Amino acid sequence: MQQNWTIVKGLVLVGFLFLAITSQAYVVSAEPSTKWINTYGGAGDDEGYSVTNSDDGYVFVGITNSSGSGQYDVLLIKTDSLGSMEWNRTYGGSFNDRAYSVVTTINDSYALAGSTNSFGSGDVDYWLIKVDSEGNLEWTQTYDGQGYDSCRSLIATSDGGYALLGYTISSRSESTSSGLANSDVWLVKVDSLGNMEWNQTYGGTSLDSVSSIKENVDGSYALGCSTVSFGAGNADFWLVIVDSVGVPKWNKTYGGSGTEYLNSLVVTIDGGYALAGSTNSFGSGSADVWLVKVDPFGNMEWNQTYGGPIADYCDSMVTSGNGGFTLACIVQPPTFWDGKFWMITVNSLGNLELNQTYGISAHHSPTSVLNTKDGNLIFAGSTRDSIGFRDYWLAKIGETDMESEFLIIGLSLILVVLMLVGLLIYKRTRNSNITE
C-alpha cells in the first residue's frame, strides 16, 4: 500500500509541476512573437509606405531610385505568406513619381495612389494606378489642381470606385468649395475606371494636411487631417465628416497649446472614431504618441499619451478583436534620424496592454500596420542599411503557433487524466486493504 501511495504522490507532484510549467508557457504564448522580418531593395533608396493583403500573401508599395526610369519611381512588391518576394514592378516616367497607398480590388488586382511629376498637366498631380494580379499596368489617371497636388490615402469605395485624399497647393480650385490658400485638403471621388465624379477641398487660410480616409456604413466619409487654420494650437488633430458627395456635415479639432499631428484614423465598433498621431501639448516627452477616442458625433470620450523622455510618434493604427487598438510607432533616439520600431497594444479604453520594441538598430521606421487574414499583424516601412540607404522592410508579428499551444493543452489534459486514474487506483487499493 505504501508503495502504491508513493507512486500516486509522484504522479500528482509531476502533474502539478507540468501544469505549472505549461500554464506559464501558455501565458507567455499570448505575447506577440516575430514570425519573420524581411528587407527588400537595391543599391539606392527604397522607401515603403503601405501594405495590403493579397490572396496568398502581401503587396507592399513605396518608392525607389534603385531601379526604374526616373529620379524616383513607384515600386510595388508582391510576397508570399512568408514574406518571400514573388515579383516586383516599377511605374513612372522621367521625373519624380511616388505612391503612398495601395488597396486590393476585385479579382485580387490592386490600385495605387500617390503623386506624379512625369505625367499630368500640373507641377505635381494626383496619380492613380490600376494593375492586375501580377502587377501589369491596366490604366492610370492623373488629377490636376494646377499646382502641387499629392494624394496620401486611397480607399476602394462601396460603389466599386475609389476615393483619393491628399493635399493641394494649387493656384486655382476645381472644386465647388471656397478657394485655396497655402495648402488645403483635397478629396477626389472617381469611378471604377478612374473617371472623376466629383472633388472637394477643405481648409482655411493656413496649412491643412491629411493622413487618412475611411468610408462610413452610410456612404459618408471620415477624413483624418491636421490643421493650422483651426483649433487651439500650432497644429491640431482635425476630423472632418462629409456626405456621399463630399459636402461637409461637421468637423472638430482636438489639441492643446502646442502641436498635434494626426497620422492615422480608424472607425470603431461603436460607430465612433479613433485618431492617432503625436503631441507635444500633453505627455512627458518632446513628443509623445497621442490616441484620441471620439463618439459618432466627434465628442471626445477619452485620450491617452504614450512615450518616454524623448520623441515618440505613431504612424499607423488598426483595431483589434476586443475593441482595442494596435499602434505602429517610432521611438526617436537622440542621435539618429531614424527611429526604432515600437508596437503598442491598448484596450478599448486606451489602457496599455503591451508595448514592445523591435530591431537590433535604431533604423526601423514603420509606416503601415495591417490585420492579416490569419489573425496576425503585418508591419511595413523602411530600414536603413549599413551605408545609409533605405530598404523596404516587412515584419509579421503575432501569437505563437497554435499547433504548439494545442500540443501543450493536450499534454496537460493527459496528465490530469493520469492523476485522476492514479487517485482512483489508490482509493480502490486503500478500500481493498481496509476490507481485508
Q: Per-domain residue ranges for the chain?
A: 1-30+403-436, 36-205+387-396
Q: What's the pLDDT score for residue 33?
A: 87
pLDDT (tens digit per residue) in 292-301:
999 999 999 9
For 120-178, write each residue's pLDDT tens digit: 887 899 999 999 999 999 999 999 976 799 999 999 999 999 999 999 996 444 443 44
Residue 159, classified by CB atoms within 10 Å of its CB into exposed (0-12), middle (13-18) or buried (19+), is: middle
Q: Grid coordinates standing for 423? A: 487517485
| Region 69-97 average pLDDT | 95
- Asked if pLDDT for residue 271 goes beyond 70, the answer is yes
Res. 410: pLDDT tops 60: no
Return the C-alpha cell found at 204: 482655411
Tell me what pLDDT residue 97 has. 97
The model's confidence at residue 434, banded by pLDDT at 50, 70 and 90, is low
Judge whether 261 and 241 are in contact, CB under 8 Å: no
The CA distances from residue 41 to 254, 351, 377, 385, 394, in Å, are: 39, 37, 22, 10, 12
354, β-bridge pairs: 345
SS (H, E, C) 20-79: HHHHHHHHHHCCCEEEEEEEECCCCCEEEEEEEECCCEEEEEEEECCCCCCCEEEEEEEE
Domain 36-205+387-396 belongs in CATH node 2.120.10.10:
yes
Tell me what pLDDT residue 393 has.
94
**Gap between the Cα atoms of 292 and 271, Å rounded:** 14
